[in-house]
Structure 1
Amino acid sequence: MVEVDESGWAPIHHAAAKNYVSSVERFVQTSGTEALEIMTEDGVGNTPLLVAVSSGSQQTVELLIQLGVNTGAVNSQRHGVIELCALHRHTELLDYFINLQIPQLNVYKNLITLVDSNNVRESFSAVLAIEAALANAMEGISDSRAGRLIEEGLVQVLLQVLEKNVGDDVKEHAIDILQNILKYDNVMKEITQCNGFHVLVHLIQEGPRKTVLRVMHVVDELASEQSCVEGLYAANAIPALVKLIASADSATLLETRNRDPILISAVHTLGLMAKANEDCKDALGHQEYLPVLVSLLKETESRKLLMVLSSALAHIVTKHQSNQDAFIRENGAAHLIEMEKSKHKVLQICAINLLNRLVEGNLNAQRNILESNGIGPLLSILKQTRTQHTQEAVSEALWAVAGTEEDIKRAIASKIGVNLLVEFLGSQSYKLHLIGTVGLSLLLQSPYDIRNSVASANGVLHLTRLLQSHRENVVTNAIQALRHMCLGVGNIPHRKTQAAIANSKGLKFLVVLMIKSRSELIQVEAACTVAAVVLGNSTTMELLYKSFGFSYVHILRLLYSANEEVRLLAGAALATFAFNSVSQQREIVDAGGVRWRHFEAFLQSGEESHRVHAAFQSIVLARIIPDQESANTSATGIKILVDALEHSSSAKTVALAADCVARLAHTRAGIPDALVSIDVIPILCQLLSSSSIQVQGCAAIALRYLSFNPQAERQLLKRCREEPHCMKVLLYYSQRHKMSSSFLERWRHLKDLGLPPIRNKDMFLRPTNGRTNNKQGHQFAVLRPEHAPALSEATSPWLNTTRHNSGKSPYISRVEIRKSPAEERLSPPLLP
């Protein structure tokens, strides 16, 4: 029998505690293997192995195991070697036992059981031991250990600990472990099954402030998985997070010195939830929630928080009109514009991205940004930076603010400037290529001639290079821009541009695309542009025939395409080739010609622009349409054009119709007479007061060409005497467009005579509902000429009227000329 001292320990226990390996070995040799299992008589009942583990005597532990000690022994407190390693923080010994892989030790199960202990010290020691076991192992081994712990029920136990009334330290480390194992398979699934989302959300609401940041990290990571977002939403995570953000200035939160990290994590989580789930996005638009986030946007000075907040708000408002409108109501746009003015480049980009999402598809938001001069800072950033990423972000935002209104887009393109748009074409960015080509096309279609400016900036060379792009929409846009470079309003050719395109191999590329492109749309767009390059230019026409073997067969074939747009554009190409050219009309006939059916369907189309395009084409090609009387064809087309001018509510369609009239005003004899005979002059004069700059310009140019017709000259002269501002608008849009010298001479003669304007009490200026139509039952306001102010040549005309009733007929007693709504949305004024 082995003697024990007064403490109840035998000599082997003391030797094991002090790591006297040789003494332990001698005691075993002397007393036999029974000494290995001697238990202390101190009420604890530790074996030499348990004593050695408690003391951290690793060499002794290794010797005892070699000698065959019972590794599964436990003391009276039910602590075995694993529990003792944890309790005494002997992480190296714990690693040793884990690596031994002795089944009876049940390392992982025992650690998890200890975590779930009601004893705070045991639970705390266990979570520390698990953290150490996962942290100290190599990467592959750590994954294996985590997998085993998860299999033994670690997730469920950790969540149970978080629900218990245990020390904050235990919960903090439990949360850390949970976060570390989130990346492993089935962990998130187990959290869902164990009602873990409610546990975590409860901690955010009611848990100790010390743990909030740790919990937020876990919730944030869970929100990055779409499968977990529904669980968080069902657990009322959104109100909990918003409440946390709203209380961010409370003293209790400030004491943690983690205000910004907590806010960043909470805001980021809300953004992820909005991105992943439409229900979450709907909920965040609630009148109690979104104002908190918008207020934070205004108040915070933390750059990192602003970046995360703007990203989250972008997810909340993306393609969600209700949330976009709520953001605008909370004056969020003003805070956003201030962010755009920041000197910090990353903040600028964040603000721009949020702005882009805010105005996407939302006319109210677009107008709010325009009225708040939100594009001013954007334009400043665009002109100051040469960073491609920033240019892309700013340009996309500007285009998004413009929405679908071409006048606004054209105005913004003008503000960007020709040089910068051409610079976009020379970049390597697909997005900038699109914006550059579209922007230039819009400017080139305007009544103002900027072709020389584009050519001076090497725009033709860049556009020609883009014809070889592998992006179909870039090629299409480049083709269209080149077409507009060649032809202005009224089909007036720009010979320098035509020559430049031919000399830069642009004509060659266009012909190749017309013949060999796999896309019918590109083929027909290229055909239209080839026609524009050669219109009225014998040099480029000769080059087309001699160098490239051009044939109309390629275009005529496209008239039979299944694609409606291709058929319409094929007709446009043929009409451009045939415009004022009898020889080309004969060439078209010889190649197979056209038939009435090619135009009839479009002339009867429900799409206004289709009818207008087809009307112009049928008038130009009337003489070579064999199955329809030429006079009837022309009459039908002219009526459609005039009806569109008078009745259409679309400024784009009206501008197109006016452009077509301008083209026809200098085509074959008889067409201008027919136009004048059905009162096109008064209608075009009305359009000079349109709110659309494009409509004004096209109407003015059409009137200038019609002024060569004697009857039109008389009508226009009378109209200019009735409304003197009409003449100022005509002169303003003169530029390269000719006007009858006889008309100008007669107008100067009237001015020299000092004749007063003709008083016509029945003269109407515009309908009271804002449309320019007097045949739809609308009520027209009557202008008293003596009150009509002079039109400034620097602004676009737009009329404010004050109406009074006199008997049965309302009349206007005051007329004020101001800028158009399109212009007022931008500052400074939009006109170039």
Structure 2
Amino acid sequence: MEQQDNKSWAPVHHAAVRNYVKSVERFIETLGVEQLEIETSDGLRNTPLLLAVSTASQQTIEVLVHLGASVSAVNKLLHGVVEISALHGYMDLLEYFIQLDNPSLNVYQRLVTFLTSDNDKESLSAAKAIAYLISRKENEFSILAQNFIDNGLVSVLINVLKRNRGQDAIEKALDILNEILKDAAVKQMVFQSNGFPVLMSIIYKEIHKGLTQLLHGAVAAIHEIASDCDYSEALFSADVIPVITKVLHMATDISNHFSNENSNNILLGAVKTLGMVATGSASCKKAIGSEQGCLSALLLLYEKYQSKGLLLTLNETVASIISNNKNNQDSFIRKHGTRHLIQMLKLKSKNLQLSAMKTLSRLAEGNPTAQKNILENNAISPLIQMLKRDRTQTVQEIVAETLWALAGEDVEEKRAIASVIGINFLVEFLASLSEKLQHIGIEGLRVLAEGAHDKKDNIASLNGVQHLVRLLRSQSEAIVLSTMQALQHMCLSVGYIPHHQNQKTIANCQGLNFLVALMAHSRSGNIQAEAAYTIAAVVLGNSENKAMLYENSDFSYNHILHLLYTSKEEIQLVTTAALTTFAFNNIRQQREIVKAGGVQWYNFQPFLGCSNETDRLNAAFQCVVLSQIIPDNEPADSAAIGIKTIVDILEYSTSKDTLALAADCLARLAHTRAGIPSAIVSINAVPLLCSLLSSPSKQARGCAAIALGYLSFNHVAERQLLRWCREEPHLVKVLLQYTKRHKLSVHFLEGWKHLKKLGLPLIRNEKTKEASIQKNKSRETTWIKT
């Protein structure tokens, strides 16, 4: 073997380290292949290949490898070609050794192992090398990254973070983790390695130090994990909510720490994480609302930061936290959060406006208190302005959904919002390609078409009926069902008074034929039942439409009657409603129903005894109308049970909508067959209806007035009504206001004029007058509380 020099290096070592390729080849050719593995005797024991790597002598490295030098050789420090390349930052050499694909050299495993080194410099060098290599993406997820993961990278990264190494090593480890966390398998590995608490610990320490250096990486990792809702509960158990809350407080208390772009990303990541965790778990959403200072910190961000991106993220997160959670909605309102959202409605940025609208919509969902609060803060005006100014479908959808959410479930609020939107817009919504707009348009027109002060004529004048008929062809079952319910109200007013023009329009638009086709051929029992009910509304009191119906070979009562025996109660109730409407004041159609099989008492019993007041009312009304053709119960008994049920609900119910329906049912029955009005009057219905004339509900007042107008043709009822009006004369104006349209006021007005002509005192004495005033005040107070 060639003598080594006084540096303990052989000539081949010098040639290798200086990249003298020809000399290396000559030494090996003349002195033998033993020169390939000859080690220095300077205590490091480097081979020529290791020395060539240390100086990035690329050509020499390739020659040595080609001649057979061992790529797995290591020196006394256990550094091989991989470790030396990483220490010197020779990334191109690492890529070269990877491309060699030599079975004896697993570059990935060597680097992962090197990352565990107790030496900070070595660990940091490995981290930098891995970070560089996995960033070399050839597709969505680097093949190199996958190879590192397969060699245990994730658990090693968690250990590096847990051992609290130097700031630089931890920062680089976080960079690597964030690069590979997009893979679902990596998230699972972090979870299995108990990595969530480790990440939380890093955030806690940085906040305690008042620093943001490592916050970005740790928060980014938590944010990426939170994007998978499967980990919401695990993050919650790892204290993600208090941790993120502390980050938010740090952002608001020391805002100068969050002035640069990197720090702003920390804040964005923290806010987004809260929203994602809230979306992923109902218990997490509840915990966020309960976490002391969490919502307050979010709301303070609205005031301290004006960044458009942050405000958009804030809105999205707040929407996730308050959606379908009444406690969080109420807390948001108590902390005056509504004003921030409404202020955004007035900004010039359309994106911020739309984002604020979506959040307001989530705030109002199922929460009457929130709906009232938003309305009191004058949110309607900017929403309507946006609706009128921007006709793009997306904007119209968001604005309309927000407005409709503010209406809630209260019929009168819906009517008020529908009136604000306007019939023009609602009809335009019907013509839209958006199912969301179609649904809101249908529902808006439906509430405007019902009640004592309906807008049927206004809707019809803008071709609303034709648009509704067209929507019967929709592929959406929900749209078809809503459309049929709207058409029912377009055809029938309070007291089952038919609107002949709308009925005619529906028939002329082929709507009647299409409804028959839906009833006979639809696969949905719900659609079949609603179609039958709508057909009955279209033909009630309209001889021309009845003739057209009977000419249609597809129509048969058998199609309706078989629906009575479905297992779904909602279909049964709509079916009996359809049969009742066909039979209303029509003996011929009652006989036709009997011929087709008829109805039985047990079809109504379940609903008469149920807890739902609306179902009981509808079933009671149906029993009275159909009592003559219910074979297994005495007609008088059926009618008596039905009438008593309606009057009992009228007396004891506290629901405005239920009371309006009860009064409407009495209005319908008051002009059916002989004996029914007398039965209604005999069980004290008139005073109950008179008391409704003082109701704060327009619907209840209107229906009660119309019912009294019909009942006033009964002599006993007329006397009771005149006596009531003599004690409370202001009710006369209410009666005339609601009954004039139905031409019911003429008869009552004659009686009232006769009473006045006799000179009888309207209020019998001062004591009676005072008692009447106090009675009215007490009644109004009770209604307001209800």
Superposition TM-score, scaled by structure 2 size: 0.90
Structure 1 stretch 686-695 or stretch 204-213: which is displaced more? 204-213
* 8 Å CA contact retained: 1:705, 1:738: no
Q: Secondary structure at the match of 1:282?
A: helix
* 1:61-115 deviation digits (Å, cap 9, x = unpaired): 1111222223333344443222221122222221111222334434233323332
The AA in structure 1 aligned to 2:479 is V
User: Which digits, 9 at most, give the CA deviation of each residue in 1:383-415, with x for residues without a partner?
Assistant: 444333343344444444433322222322222
* Whole-Å separation in 1 of the counterparts to 2:647 and 2:67: 110
Deviates more, 1:530-539 or 1:311-320: 311-320
Matched AA of 2:69? V
Cα offset, 1:193, TM superposition? 4.1
How far, CA to CA, are the matches of 1:648 and 1:761 in structure 2?
32
1:210 and 2:207 equivalent?
A: no
Residue 743 (str. 1) matches residue 753 (str. 2):
no
Structure 2 partner of 1:93: 93
CA distance in 2, matches of 1:705, 1:352: 46
Aligned: 1:356 with 2:361: yes
Q: Which residue does the alignment assign to 2:54?
A: 54
What is the correspondence of 1:548-627 to structure 2 with a 5 Å cutoff?
Answer: 548=553, 550-599=555-604, 602-625=607-630
Q: Secondary structure at the match of 1:136?
A: coil
Name the SS for the 1:331 alignment partner: coil
Distance, in Å, in 2 between the alignment partners of 1:498 and 1:651 is: 29
Answer yes or no: is the 8 Å Cα contact 1:708–1:739 preserved in 2.
Answer: no
Conservation of the 8 A alpha-carbon contact between 2:135 and 2:179 = no
Residue in 1 aligned with 2:26? Answer: 26
CA distance 1:195–1:607, change in 2 (3 Å): closer
Say whether the 8 Å CA contact 2:491–2:500 is kept in structure 1: yes
Match of 2:666 in 1: 661
The CA deviation at 1:508 is: 0.3
SS in structure 2 of the partner of residue 666 of structure 1: coil
User: Residue 451 of structure 2 aligns to a residue in which SS?
Assistant: coil
Instruction: Look up the SS of the partner of 2:271 in the other structure.
Output: helix
Equivalent residue, structure 2, for 1:267: 271
Deviation at 1:168, TM superposition (A): 2.7
SS at match of 2:251: coil
Change (3 A) 1:77 1:256: farther
Indicate how the Cα distance of structure 1 residues 380 and 708 shifts in structure 2: closer, same or farther if over 3 A, else same.
farther
Q: Which amino acid aligns with 2:222?
A: V
Q: Does 1:296 align with 2:301?
A: yes
Partners of 1:106 and 1:743 lie apart in 2 by: 101
SS at match of 1:536: coil
The Cα of 1:625 is off from its aligned counterpart by 4.6
Letter in 1 for 2:419: S
1:130-169 equivalence runs, <5 A: 130-136=130-136, 138-139=138-139, 142-143=142-143, 145-164=144-163, 166-169=165-168
- Matched letter for residue 510 of structure 1: L
SS class of match (2:762): coil
1:474 aligns with 2:479: yes
The match for 2:16 is 16
Match of 1:247 in 2: 250
Q: Which moved more, 1:396-405 or 1:170-179?
A: 396-405
Q: Deviations over 1:167-224 (max 9, x none)?
A: 4332222211122222457533443344322221122121452221122111211222
Q: Distance in 1 between matches of 2:10 and 2:328?
A: 77
Stretch moving more, 477-486 or 26-35? 26-35
C-alpha contact (below 8 Å) 2:275/2:320 kept by paired residues:
yes
Q: Which amino acid aligns with 1:223?
A: A
What residue number does 2:317 align with? 312
- Asked whether 1:219 is paired with 2:218, we answer no
> Which residue of 2 is the match for residue 733 of structure 1?
738
Mapped contact 1:85–1:94 kept (Cα < 8 A) = yes
Higher fraction of helix:
2
Describe the shift of the 1:83–1:410 C-alpha distance in structure 2 as closer, same or farther (beyond 3 A): same
SS of the equivalent of 1:467 reads: helix
Task: Say which is worse superposed, 502-511 or 588-597, in terms of deviation.
Answer: 588-597
RMSD of aligned residue pairs (Cα, Å): 3.4
1:740 positional shift: 4.2
Q: Distance in 1 between matches of 2:181 and 2:242?
A: 24
Give, in angstroms, the shift of residue 35 of structure 1: 3.6
2:694 is matched with which residue? 689
Q: What does 1:169-184 correspond to in 2, within 5 Å?
A: 169-184=168-183
Higher relative contact order structure (alpha carbons within 8 Å, sequence separation ≥ 6): 1
- Asked if 1:343 corresponds to 2:348, the answer is yes
Name the SS for the 1:248 alignment partner. helix
Aligned pair count reads 780
Query: Match of 1:806?
Result: none
| 8 Å CA contact 2:617, 2:646 repeated in 1 | yes
Per the alignment, do residues 214 and 141 of structure 1 end up closer, same or farther by CA in structure 2, a change over 3 Å counting? closer
Q: 1:254 to 1:616 in 2, by over 3 A?
A: closer
What is residue 412 of structure 1 aligned with on the other side?
417
Q: Which deviates the most, 686-695 or 159-168?
A: 159-168
Question: Structure 1's 541 and 283: CA in aligned 2 closer, same or farther, altered over 3 A?
Answer: closer
Task: Report if aligned partners of 1:43, 1:76 keep a CA contact under 8 Å in 2.
Answer: yes
How far apart, in 1, do the equivalents of 2:174 and 2:485 lie? Answer: 60
In structure 2, the CA distance between the partners of 1:569 and 1:761, relative to structure 1 (3 Å rule), is farther
> What is the CA–CA distance in structure 2 between the aligned matches of 1:196 and 1:596, rounded to whole Å?
66
| Gapped regions of structure 1 (runs ≥ 5) | 765-780, 789-798, 802-811, 823-832
- Specify which of 520, 523, 527 is matched with residue 515 of structure 1: 520
Q: Is the 8 A contact 1:692 1:820 kept in 2?
A: no
Distance in structure 1 (CA, Å) of the matches to 2:772 and 2:269: 63
Equivalent residue letter for 2:133: A
Q: 2:549 aligns with which of 541, 544, 553?
A: 544
State the SS of the aligned residue for 1:123. helix
Distance in 2 (alpha carbons) for counterparts of 1:385 and 1:755: 62
Alpha-carbon offset, residue 42 of structure 1 = 5.8
